[in-house]
Structure 1
Amino acid sequence: MKNIKKSLLLVVMSLVMTISLIGCTSNKVKVEENNTIRLGVMSAADSAPILLAQEKGYFEAEGVNLELEIFTNGATKQSSIQAGELDAAMLSMIQFLNNVKGGLQAKITTTTDGMFPIVLSKDFEEKKDVKVGLMEVSVINFLADQYLTDYNVEKVFINEMPLRMQALMENKIDMAVLPEPLASNAELKGLEKRVYGNPDDYTPNAIIFTDEFIKNNPNTVKGFHNAYNRAIEDIVNNPNEAKDILISKLELNPQIKDLIVLPTYHKTRVPDEAYIKEIEDWTEKLQGSELNLDYNDIVTKDYVSK
């Protein structure tokens, strides 16, 4: 009888130890995060804080391994997001709202700051009716509607930014909306650049992370934004750092440095509900269909700078 009791006790103790080990392993799995972020950005001034943070090792200091891809075509980047090839991306809010409507589960974690001048064709002469090179579902189309109210605009949709530049040089279009520093690259080639003031407090671009990545890797996402804010501080103290990193990483002519018009850079922040509604209304009008998105489903304030 004693032997039976002893055997039962050993079995119970063994089970307890096994359960404890399973519990410990389970907890360990929960706290382990993927520290690699696959991020897609555009060749634009918005990217400067990210490029600078990577160059200075700020992401590495936060334990973040950033795999960065620079796109010249917003449509290609959008396809990469939808295909699950990216964990995060710099997107126009117009594209983002459409992606969410199409089933993408992601949130805006911060706005970015860009500058989008109007560039005139090589032989442009002032006139009322103009052909303007744009990307249809994009920030530049949204901004063109705000900037060019004095013109009768015929929109010509050219997704690739280098092709937009080429169309200007060949006088196939009268104007194009190009982001800095590419707009200054066009100016260096002899084209006129017109800088319009931002009618809103925000530029309609943002960094988005997939819901799955945020849920599984909150500390990695936090580390990304910490590094981003650190780079913003550097740029505010010395704007030339933004110009230099853009010229270097985008492989542009150093002579454009004094031509580049930088935006006012902000630490991490998110658009308010009124601005999202403005973007949503414009997008619905463009496409002739309703989006009906809830602000709290597409924006998180967890990474806003304190």
Structure 2
Amino acid sequence: MRVKSLLVMLLGMLFMLAATTGCAQDGKENGQENSPAKLKIGSLTTEENLPVLVAQENGYFDAEDVQVEFVPLLSPVELQNTFQSGALDGMITDMMIALMLKSSGEELRITSIALGSAPQEGRFAIVAAPKSDIKSVQDLKGKSIGISNNSIIEYVTDGILEQAGMSPSDVNKTTVAKIPVRIEMLLNNQIDAIVVPDPHISYAVANGARVVADDTSGENLSQSVIIMTQTALNSKNDAISRFYNAYARAVEEINNNPEQYKELLVTSINVPKQIADSYKVQHYPLPQLPVEEDVNNVITWLKNKGLLKADINYQDVIWGQT
């Protein structure tokens, strides 16, 4: 009897072991065993991408057990459409777009600044044509300025003019949506001035244009942000926190060793060869939320332009606010 009982017990243990092994194997085949959380983040090919690229290259996301698929897109329209389709968990964009999407009913939150915690980050400038006699903001009165309207470019343009004691109505805003076309018109002296961000500022200056004024002093005008869908925040909150742990590590690495990541920046945002050697990697902010004043300034501008479909406020759009 004892032998029989022992045999039954042994067979039972073997059955349980086989069942456990089978379940574990099924988990591996289905990719469920220890699989890292996944986030899909979209962006244009801009300077803001560098911390994500460094975190990928240096294995910081792997160390945090989060898998990040970074999706570069070619135009703001394509990026917004992809985000609105639900194909992305988040995207890097400017404050203007984030707020307009929120007011149109998109369930999203700003989870961090990408660039622009201080005016020195993420430079925009008014640049005069090579043969222009424009040397100061006041010289722009009555002159044509190439911009993309209802955008961060126009917001920065208005802000720079107002800080210099000018009114936006003092200049002739000319819509030239595509930056390469804007720069070509400027360098061919077909327009008096344009407003662009870096590296386009540096390229235009290298080809004879002149910076009239930029947004690196005074009121903080230009901010890019990282936004996440509410769905991602609800279902992947821990993954997003781990994403930012890796992101912060990458920011510190870049700020401590900027020259080490210059080649990655130059190749990833297509810095023209003419200025690649002299182009500098800028300072990046650690993950942080934009302050209420900066957000409210953009909301007010958008309201005055009639660009908000519904009223929104700081608490509506910022992650973690109630």
TM range (shorter): 0.7 to 0.9
1:102-124 superposed Cα distances (whole Å, 9 cap, x missing partner): 11100000012122233332432
Counterpart contact for 2:41–2:88, Cα < 8 Å: yes
Task: Give aligned pairs, total.
Answer: 275
Q: Does 1:47 align with 2:49?
A: yes
Other-structure match for 1:132: 145
Q: Does 1:221 align with 2:240?
A: yes
* 2:196 aligns with one of 178, 181, 186: 178
Aligned CA distance change for structure 1 residues 208 and 80 (closer, same or farther; 3 Å): same
Counterpart contact for 1:72–1:160, Cα < 8 Å: no
Q: Normalising by structure 2, what TM-score? A: 0.74
Over aligned residues, Cα RMSD in angstroms?
3.0
Alpha-carbon shift at residue 301 of structure 1 (Å): 4.2
Q: How high is the sequence identity, in percent, across the aligned residues?
A: 26
Aligned CA distance change for structure 1 residues 180 and 70 (closer, same or farther; 3 Å): farther
Other-structure match for 2:173: 155
Aligned CA distance change for structure 1 residues 203 and 257 (closer, same or farther; 3 Å): same
1:119-173 superposed Cα distances (whole Å, 9 cap, x missing partner): 3324322143222222223222111111134562222233332222222223333
In structure 2, stretches of 5+ residues that fail to align are: 1-32, 116-121
Alpha-carbon shift at residue 84 of structure 1 (Å): 2.3
Taking the aligned partners of 1:46 and 1:216, their CA distance within structure 2 comes to: 25
Aligned CA distance change for structure 1 residues 91 and 82 (closer, same or farther; 3 Å): same
Pick the structure with greater CA Rg: 2
Q: Equivalent residues in 2 for 1:265-280 (5 A)?
A: 265-280=284-299
Q: Give, as a single letter, the amino acid of the residue that structure 2 aligns with 1:165.
A: I
* 2:67 aligns with one of 65, 68, 71: 65
Higher mean displacement: 250-259 or 141-150: 250-259
Q: Give, as a single letter, the amino acid of the residue that structure 1 aligns with 2:149.
A: E
Alpha-carbon shift at residue 32 of structure 1 (Å): 8.9
Counterpart contact for 1:144–1:177, Cα < 8 Å: yes
Q: Give, as a single letter, the amino acid of the residue that structure 2 aligns with 1:99.
A: L
Taking the aligned partners of 2:85 and 2:190, their CA distance within structure 1 comes to: 34
Q: Equivalent residues in 2 for 1:113-262 (5 A)?
A: 113=115, 114-126=122-134, 127=139, 128-149=141-162, 150=164, 152-194=170-212, 195-201=214-220, 203-241=222-260, 243-257=262-276, 259-260=278-279
Q: Give, as a single letter, the amino acid of the residue that structure 2 aligns with 1:285.
A: N
Counterpart contact for 2:130–2:209, Cα < 8 Å: yes
Q: Equivalent residues in 2 for 1:48-127 (5 A)?
A: 48-113=50-115, 114-126=122-134, 127=139
Counterpart contact for 1:73–1:161, Cα < 8 Å: no
Q: Give, as a single letter, the amino acid of the residue that structure 2 aligns with 1:154.
A: N
Q: Give, as a single letter, the amino acid of the residue that structure 2 aligns with 1:147.
A: I
Q: Normalising by structure 1, what TM-score? A: 0.78
- SS of the residue aligned with 1:133? strand
Taking the aligned partners of 2:261 and 2:174, their CA distance within structure 1 comes to: 31
1:250-278 superposed Cα distances (whole Å, 9 cap, x missing partner): 23235524543655421011112222211
Other-structure match for 1:15: none
Counterpart contact for 2:156–2:222, Cα < 8 Å: no
Q: Give, as a single letter, the amino acid of the residue that structure 2 aligns with 1:238.
A: N
Taking the aligned partners of 1:293 and 1:178, their CA distance within structure 2 comes to: 28
Aligned CA distance change for structure 1 residues 216 and 234 (closer, same or farther; 3 Å): same
Other-structure match for 1:3: none
